[in-house]
Amino acid sequence: MSTVSESYLVGLIGDGITASLSPPMHEKEGREHGLLYLYRPVDLTALELSPEHASRLLKTGVELGFNAFNITHPVKQLIMEHLDEIDDDARALGAVNTVLIRDGKTIGYNTDFSGYTTGLEHNLDNPDYGNVVQLGTGGAGAAVAYALLRAGAEKLTLIDLDADRARERAEALQQLFPQQQVVAVEHGNLETALKDATGFAQCTPVGMNIHPGLPVDPTWLPENSWVSDVIYLPRNTELIEAARARGLQVADGGGMAVGQAVDAFKLITGILPDQARMNEHFQRLSAGQQG
């Protein structure tokens, strides 16, 4: 156990996040390392504040001596113009989800994409990134697409019901990764796109407790491919269960949720947390929410 005596005061700014699992995850891991680690949600909805007030809350946090903030929907983009520095990956992604406060300065990072990568690494055995198909290019999808290309995806096909959004995302990513192939295809071509896929990344709300169902026909998933999902309530979505039943490698959404928390904790404290322990705690917490 660490003998570090410094205390940490961390906040989470976002909309409707009072029941977030991040506070108990961070605080428990802090205790495991002998830290006085307090993590408090700052819920815009509960405070009856608009997203535009996030910058004022951040400034107040700096004045009050906070060490860091996690940033979530809907202010991951809005907060960027109010920061002193932004990490290269966060700038390329166009979104910040972790802000460190150092000597009165605010520095923005993004651990959504790195957390997704961490989740893949801990759940998949030597995944093939040769030809990956991704469904959904919204907030989570943007981070996943960036992560897949950073991980070495040779070809990434983006598909979304909003064809314009998929196309714009593909064009932006192609400029960032000119040595790799990034394309957008119509949603109606999903089955065809999956025929030769080595991996499938599911980044839509379909499969959540409040949006049950399958985003794709499981029989379209090729043998020996892998499947990832960003949804963690429930962790075992219908897609994950169907892919597992077909013998495919799977990475559920809990891996990304835990991975981003692991990376944020390390940024904030400089201490590498225990990934397995945080995952076990997250499973207990999420099981309680589902119950």
CATH number reported for the structural domain that contains residue 75 in this entry: 3.40.50.10860
Among 55, 70, 61, which residue's Cα sits nearest to residue 264?
Answer: 70
Q: Using alpha carbons, select from 211, 291, 222, 220 the residue that is nearest to residue 253.
A: 211
Q: How many domains does the chain have?
A: 2
- 131 domain residue, yes or no: yes
Q: What's 236's domain CATH number?
A: 3.40.50.720
Which amino acid type is present at position 15? Answer: D
DSSP three-state, residue 232? coil
Any domain includes 269 = no
As a whole number, mean pLDDT of residues 156-183 equals 97
Please state the rounded mean pLDDT for residues 249-269: 96
Identify whether residues 248 and 118 lie together within a single domain.
yes
In a shared domain, residues 99 and 73 = yes
Residue 219 maps to a domain: yes
Is it the case that residue 207 has pLDDT exceeding 50?
yes
Calpha distance 289→279 (Å, rounded): 15
Q: Is the pLDDT of residue 74 over 50?
A: yes
Tell me whether residue 275 is in a domain: no
pLDDT of residue 289: 75
Residues 187 and 167 in one domain: yes
- Is 61 in the same domain as 125? no
Give the tens place of pLDDT for each residue, 104-134: 999 999 999 999 998 999 899 999 999 999 9
| pLDDT recorded at residue 281 | 96
User: Percent of the chain having pLDDT more than 90?
Assistant: 90
- Crossing angle of helices 139-150/112-123, nearest 10°? 60
Where does the pLDDT of residue 139 fall: very low under 50, low under 70, confident under 90, or very high at 90 and above? confident
Contact 149, 158 (CB under 8 A): no
Domain boundary among 110, 137, 154: 110
Do 213 and 128 belong together in one domain? yes
Q: Looking at the structure, do residues 225 and 106 belong to the same domain, yes or no?
A: no
pTM, rounded to two decimals: 0.87
Asked if residue 289 belongs to a domain, the reply is: no
Structure tokens at 44: 């815009």
pLDDT of residue 210: 86
Report phi then psi at 226, rounded to 5: -120, 160
Confidence of residue 5 (pLDDT cuts 50, 70, 90): low
Q: HEC profile for the chain? A: CCCCCCEEEEEEEECCCCCCCHHHHHHHHHHHCCCEEEEEEEEHHHHCCCHHHHHHHHHHHHHHCCCEEEECCCCCCHHHHHCCEECHHHHHHCCCCEEEEECCEEEEECCHHHHHHHHHHHHCCCCCCCEEEEECCCHHHHHHHHHHHHCCCCEEEEECCCHHHHHHHHHHHHHHCCCCEEEECCHHHHHHHHCCCCEEEECCCCCECCECCCCCCHHHCCCCCEEEECCCCCCCCHHHHHHHHCCCEEECHHHHHHHHHHHHHHHHHCCCCCHHHHHHHHHHHHHHHHC
Based on the domain organization, do 66 and 179 belong to the same domain?
Answer: no
b/e code 199-237 from CB counts within 10 Å (16+ = b): bbbbbbebbbeeeeeebbeeeebbeebbbbbbbbbbbbb
Check if the beta carbon of residue 113 is closer than 8 Å to that of residue 82.
no
2 pLDDT tier (thresholds 50, 70, 90): very low
Same domain assignment for residues 78 and 12: yes
Taking the C-alpha atoms of residue 12 and residue 260, their distance in angstroms, rounded to an integer, is 13
Q: Which domain holds residue 27?
A: 7-110
Q: What's the mean pLDDT in 137-165?
A: 95
Point out the catalytic residue in the list 28, 59, 76, 105.
Answer: 76
- Mean residue pLDDT of the chain comes to 94
Q: Which of 30, 84, 35 is nearest to 58 (CA)?
A: 84
- 290 pLDDT above the threshold of 70: no
In a domain, 241, yes or no: yes
Tell me the mean pLDDT in the region 279-291: 85
- The more confidently predicted of residues 64 and 286 is 64
Q: How sure is the predictor about 209, in pLDDT bands with cuts at 50, 70 and 90? A: confident
Domain end position, chosen among 110, 139, 174:
110
Ranking 98-102, 137-141, 226-230 by mean pLDDT, the lowest is 137-141
Final residue belonging to a domain, choices 55, 81, 110: 110
Task: Confirm if 20 and 41 have CB atoms less than 8 A apart.
Answer: yes
- Confidence at residue 1, expressed as pLDDT on a 0 to 100 scale: 46
Do 68 and 167 share a domain, yes or no? Answer: no
Whether 56 and 178 share a structural domain: no
In-domain check, residue 59 = yes
Residue 76 annotated among the catalytic residues of the structure: yes
Instruction: Say what percent of the chain tops pLDDT 70.
Output: 98
The verdict on 84 and 183 lying in the same domain is no
The pair of structure tokens assigned to 37 is 């680690």
- Looking at residue 233, its pLDDT comes to 87
Does some domain include residue 291? no
Assess contact for 69 and 40: CB atoms under 8 A. Answer: no
